């Protein structure tokens, strides 16, 4: 009896500890993670105060914050490619985004306005040696040019790495974990010497106020090693408003395109959330018109996606927006992209992450930079959009307003689902919000049940509620909850959304 009670308590506490790594620690009324890809810390701090906090964003995924290799032309056809940051040289906080002092300033300012930080970490590998390929070392900080598999500023030496081998067979789970992704020196996370370095790095970031991590290339590491590493981390820092005992949120990157894969997303989902690439694939396919919207009524686990609480969902990420297979949507196709994001934001499934890009025409192109390779800040236009080469999807009215919709409807179920059997759909979120989509190529004009109280509402896609008027379409909800919903086939946007706070 006594034994089983002790057993139960230890199982429950182990369970709650692990479940805890699924909690992003959003402030109440906030949700959604925005990946401010390649942004500088000083710009992020300002963005938290002037946009993300007031607009209810939950947190930010940062580009890797630790010292990386510098890749100069002619190694790439564009000056200093973005991907140099996926080749770490040390765990010192020195990158083109800023220094440790800049990081701390950003962390204080973002946390103060309710915006959490998640750091992209690269525990799988270190930088390629210049002799291995097209890259060359520079000095990102204080590190001298290292020899092959010798990273003195960590320090790591040859024995910290797996023996060199190429991943030649993607059906071999041992090769996927123990050989070299892109030929990059593969750390052995089974060793205490490596675990200690990773834990020290992550604990340092926890001290500086982060709420969690995006774990790069998780698929290429053994889940049991990650479990040990995550388990050794300190609790989040209460000085930044986290409750005592809070655990770091995990977003583990596992590219799993379905049943044929030998490494599955399910192997990692007990340790935190896992990237759900099928969400990106299926919404891209549907809103590009290659699958009927009517089927989305059952979107989720029934489609083979992870359970909602384990899924980190997105329409595009920094990798697949660069690999246009004709399925993934990005800022380059604005109308269907905004529809896909509106659906992702309105539909209560997973932790949503949205991309904030810089404009690019070729795969390698790095962020907007000056002649010395320094990142150039985004400029902010009077219409809230960005300039200087930054796309700032998170500032597009339709996207930012749908994040607010998600927050206002948080915790309510999908109700009043309607479709025309093809590419016109609509649903409400309890009695808090209502959204409709027209992807049909003919106008949509329907009398639909909105679930909302009678009144005149402002459509937050075509405009904004300003004072007591609406800069876009107005929708009149009758006493029985029904309203006439109109979305022209050639309108700028194929979505209409109203909610309790857009009532005039």
Contacts of 199 (CB under 8 A, 6+ apart): 229, 232, 233
Binders of Ca ion in range 174-213 (CB under 5 A): 186
Window of 27-35, 37-45, 80-88, 376-384 that interacts with ligand LM2 by CB under 6 A:
80-88
Residue 219 binds to Ca ion (criterion: CB under 5 A): no
- Partner from ligand LM2, Ca ion, none contacting 122, C-beta within 5 to 8 A by type: ligand LM2
DSSP letter assigned to residue 286: I
Closest to 463 (Cα-Cα) out of 409, 398, 386: 398
Window of 84-92, 334-342, 381-389, 441-449 that interacts with ligand LM2 by CB under 6 A:
84-92
Active site residue 253: yes
Q: Whose Cβ is closer to ligand LM2: residue 43's or residue 84's?
A: 84
Active site residue 43: no
Q: Whose Cβ is closer to ligand LM2: residue 131's or residue 244's?
A: 131
- Partner from Ca ion, ligand LM2, none contacting 186, C-beta within 5 to 8 A by type: Ca ion
> CB–CB of 297/421 below 8 Å?
no
Total Cβ atoms within 10 A of residue 27: 17
Q: What are 494's two structure tokens?
A: 């194929």
Q: Whose Cβ is closer to ligand LM2: residue 286's or residue 391's?
A: 391
Candidate residues 39, 57, 83, 358; the one interacting with ligand LM2 per rule CB under 6 A: 83
- Rounded to an integer, what distance in angstroms lies between the CA atom of residue 384 and that of residue 229? 41
Candidate residues 87, 111, 188, 356; the one interacting with ligand LM2 per rule CB under 6 A: 87
Looking up tokens 């790439």 gives 76
For the chain, the straight-line distance linking the first and the last C-alpha, in angstroms and rounded, comes to 62
Candidate residues 86, 161, 299, 427; the one interacting with ligand LM2 per rule CB under 6 A: 86
Q: What are 234's two structure tokens?
A: 């300190």
Could you tell me the smallest distance in angstroms from the CB atom of residue 137 to ligand LM2?
12
Looking up tokens 């005039």 gives 504
Contacts of 243 (CB under 8 A, 6+ apart): none
Residue 276 binds to ligand LM2 (criterion: CB under 6 A): no
Residue 182 binds to ligand LM2 (criterion: CB under 6 A): yes
Strand ranges (DSSP E) for 40-88?
Answer: 57-62
- Partner from ligand LM2, Ca ion, none contacting 216, C-beta within 5 to 8 A by type: ligand LM2
- Report the largest interatomic distance among the alpha carbons of the chain, rounded to a whole angstrom: 74
Q: Is beta strand 414-419 parallel, antiparallel or unpaired with respect to 273-275?
A: unpaired
Q: Whose Cβ is closer to Ca ion: residue 177's or residue 404's?
A: 177
Q: What are 483's two structure tokens?
A: 């309203």
- Rounded to an integer, what distance in angstroms lies between the CA atom of residue 59 and that of residue 74? 36
| CA atoms 459, 460, 466, 467: torsion sign | positive
Candidate residues 30, 195, 220, 429; the one interacting with Ca ion per rule CB under 5 A: 220
Residue 324 binds to ligand LM2 (criterion: CB under 6 A): no
Window of 40-48, 154-162, 179-187, 385-393 that interacts with ligand LM2 by CB under 6 A:
179-187
Q: CA-based angle 8:13:19, to the nearest 5?
A: 125
One character per residue 119-148, x = contact with ligand LM2 (rule: CB under 6 A): ---x-----x----x-x-------------
Residue 184 binds to ligand LM2 (criterion: CB under 6 A): yes
> CB–CB of 226/256 below 8 Å?
no
Q: Which residues are catalytic?
A: 216, 253
Positions that interact with ligand LM2 (CB under 6 A): 83-84, 86-87, 122, 128, 133, 135, 181-184, 216-217, 253, 319
């Amino acid at each position: 009896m006594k034994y089983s009670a002790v057993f139960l308590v230890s199982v429950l506490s182990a369970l709650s500890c692990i479940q805890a790594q699924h909690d992003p620690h959003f402030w109440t009324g906030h949700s959604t993670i925005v990946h401010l890809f390649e942004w500088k810390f000083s710009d992020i701090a300002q963005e938290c105060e002037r946009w993300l906090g007031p607009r209810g964003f939950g947190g930010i995924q940062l580009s890797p914050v630790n010292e990386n290799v510098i890749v100069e032309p002619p190694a790439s056809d564009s000056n200093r490619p973005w991907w140099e940051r996926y080749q770490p040289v040390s765990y010192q906080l020195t990158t083109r985004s800023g220094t440790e002092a800049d990081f701390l300033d950003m962390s204080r300012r973002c946390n103060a306005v309710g915006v959490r930080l998640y750091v992209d970490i690269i525990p799988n590998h270190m930088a390629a040696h210049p002799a291995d390929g097209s890259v060359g070392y520079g000095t990102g900080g204080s590190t001298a040019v290292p020899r092959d598999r010798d990273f003195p500023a960590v320090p790591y030496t040859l024995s910290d790495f797996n023996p060199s081998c190429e991943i030649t067979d993607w059906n071999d789970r041992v090769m996927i974990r123990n050989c070299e992704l892109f030929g990059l020196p593969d750390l052995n996370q089974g060793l205490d010497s490596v675990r200690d370095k990773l834990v020290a790095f992550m604990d340092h970031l926890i001290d500086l106020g982060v709420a969690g991590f995006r774990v790069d290339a998780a698929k290429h590491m053994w889940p049991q090693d990650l479990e040990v590493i995550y388990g050794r981390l300190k609790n989040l820092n209460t000085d930044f408003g986290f409750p005592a005992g809070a655990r770091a949120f995990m977003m583990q990157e596992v590219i799993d395109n379905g049943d044929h894969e030998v490494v599955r997303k399910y192997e990692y989902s007990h340790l935190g959330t896992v990237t759900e690439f099928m969400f990106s694939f299926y919404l891209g396919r549907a809103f590009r018109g290659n699958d009927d919207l009517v089927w989305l009524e059952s979107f989720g686990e029934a489609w083979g996606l992870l359970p909602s609480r384990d899924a980190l969902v997105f329409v595009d990420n920094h990798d697949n927006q660069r690999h246009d297979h004709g399925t993934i949507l990005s800022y380059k196709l604005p109308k269907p992209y905004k529809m896909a994001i509106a659906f992702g934001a309105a539909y209560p499934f997973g932790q949503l992450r949205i991309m904030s890009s810089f404009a690019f025409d070729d795969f390698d192109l790095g962020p907007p930079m000056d002649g010395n390779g320094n990142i150039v800040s985004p400029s902010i236009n009077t219409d809230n959009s960005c300039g200087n080469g930054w796309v700032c999807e998170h500032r597009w009215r339709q996207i930012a307003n749908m994040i607010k919709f998600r927050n206002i409807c948080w915790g309510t179920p999908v109700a009043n689902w309607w479709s025309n059997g093809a590419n016109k759909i609509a649903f409400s979120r309890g009695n808090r919000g209502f959204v409709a989509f027209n992807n049909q190529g003919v106008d949509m004009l329907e009398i639909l049940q909105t679930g909302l109280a009678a009144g005149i509402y402002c459509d937050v896609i075509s405009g904004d509620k300003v004072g007591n008027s609406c800069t876009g379409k107005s929708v009149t909800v009758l006493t029985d909850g029904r309203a006439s919903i109109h979305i022209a086939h050639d309108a700028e946007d194929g979505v209409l959304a109203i909610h309790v706070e857009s009532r005039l």
